Amino acid sequence: MNGLRNLVDKIKPTFEKGGKLGFLHSTFDAFETFLFVPNTVTKRGTHVRDCVDLKRVMIMVVLALVPAMLFGIWNTGYQHNLAFGLNWGFTDIVLYGLAKVLPLYVVAYLVGLAIEFVSAQIQGHEVNEGYLVSGMLIPLIVPVDVPLWMLAIAVAFAVIIGKEVFGGTGMNIWNPALLTRAFLFFSYPSKMSGDTVWTGGVARFMEEGVAYQCGNGLVDGFSGATPLANPTLANLEPKFLDMVIGTIPGSVGETSVIAILLGAILLIWTGVASWKIMASSVLGGLAIGYLGYALGATDLPGYYQLVMGGFLFGTVFMATDPVTSAQTECGKWIYGFLVGALAVTVRLWNPGYPEGMMLAILLMNTFAPLIDHYVIEASIKRRAKKVKIA
């Protein structure tokens, strides 16, 4: 490690301002801070001293996503194995899943980081670590069979229009990963509808949600549709345990409740994500879920809404984004509750779009500053009244 440190120190002057490659200073700085902890310290004045910086926060979120990613890789291969009646072992299942998921990560990171680096060079600022999380999230919330060129265009749109034009990491209004999904949904709806078959190698054989035997081992009567395609108690009650474990078709990282909860525990334990947003989102989803159950909009008890689609994944990993969510403590409760409530409202009363989490989070990203504004105003008025009384 000392040899690598010495090598970096030796070539560093070349990339400093005034050096031969000084125009690449931002790029070099990004690689250096990725390899080593920066040695810059505060020089004067009073500062909050803490070992936690943006890089450590982002890495913690990436680590929290690892269980969902690993399970998603296995489940991709498992669903393919199940759909085609194959008799694969664990290794074959994982290798197939890796072959399908890895290209999504390569495209997401290559396109996104390339834009980040170019933007940093043009503007002359540091390359921020924020995209480490976005690049990790994007492949987990898209269909595994999405064409790579579509993904590349969507990532470019999300990073340029949704992030860089607002000033980069920490300045964006909407979650970049969700913007990627939204772009795919509205531009290529056949690939992104909530009841689309998201099983590797199956979509091309599907018509109206029914898989036809094509002489290649596809079992009779297999349906690759996600639980949101026909959300009735008769269809889903026998599959409830499967939905908790995650052995169902769906986006790569959104199917396993257990894997998502492992990530949630890590984020809450380290204080990286707000447990208030998570808890209030679940409460909002349950409230509308049971309201719809009482009104006859669905025969599913409210708790089913938590384990279907991307509800829990969105609640844990995207609604809690500290940049785009509410900042005040009271605002977090309001923001989270409305995210969960709106997601289930869209599911139950909008037959054209069976999954509502993406739209709910993006809408509440938009209104998060307004929520904080009114929470602060209300707090100021309460304190002013106390002062007058005193």
CA–CA distance, 303 with 290 (Å, rounded to integer): 8
User: Domain check: are 60 and 184 in the same one?
Assistant: yes
Count the domains in the chain.
3
Whole-number Cα distances in Å, 10 to 6, 16, 29: 6, 12, 14
In the structure encoding, which two tokens stand for residue 136, read together? 């990790």
In the structure encoding, which two tokens stand for residue 159, read together? 């990073």
Within a domain: residue 257? Answer: no
- In the block, tokens 């470019």 appear at 156
Confidence band of 237 (pLDDT split at 50, 70, 90): confident
- What per-residue confidence (pLDDT) applies to 221? 32
Q: Is the distance from CB of 233 to CB of 283 less than 8 angstroms?
A: no
State pLDDT tens for residues 47-91.
555 555 566 778 889 999 999 999 999 999 999 998 888 889 999
Q: Which of 192, 225, 249 is the last residue of a domain?
A: 192
- Which of 333, 322, 330 is CA-nearest to residue 376? 330
User: Domain check: are 43 and 81 in the same one?
Assistant: no
Q: Is the distance from CB of 365 to CB of 313 less than 8 angstroms?
A: no
State pLDDT tens for residues 315-356.
999 999 988 999 999 999 999 999 999 999 998 988 677 788
**Host domain of residue 358:** 273-378
Dihedral sign for Cα atoms in the order 79, 84, 85, 91:
negative
- Backbone φ and ψ for 272, nearest 5 degrees, come out as -75, -35
Can you give the pTM of this predicted structure?
0.81
- Which of 26, 129, 136, 116 is CA-nearest to residue 72? 136
* Backbone dihedral region for residue 294 (phi beyond 0: left; psi -120 to 50: alpha; all else: beta): alpha
Least confident of 33-47, 156-170, 210-224, 315-329: 210-224
User: Domain check: are 62 and 154 in the same one?
Assistant: yes
CA–CA distance, 356 with 201 (Å, rounded to integer): 26
User: Domain check: are 131 and 146 in the same one?
Assistant: yes
Within a domain: residue 216? Answer: no
Is 369's pLDDT higher than 60? yes
User: Domain check: are 374 and 283 in the same one?
Assistant: yes
CA–CA distance, 234 with 336 (Å, rounded to integer): 30
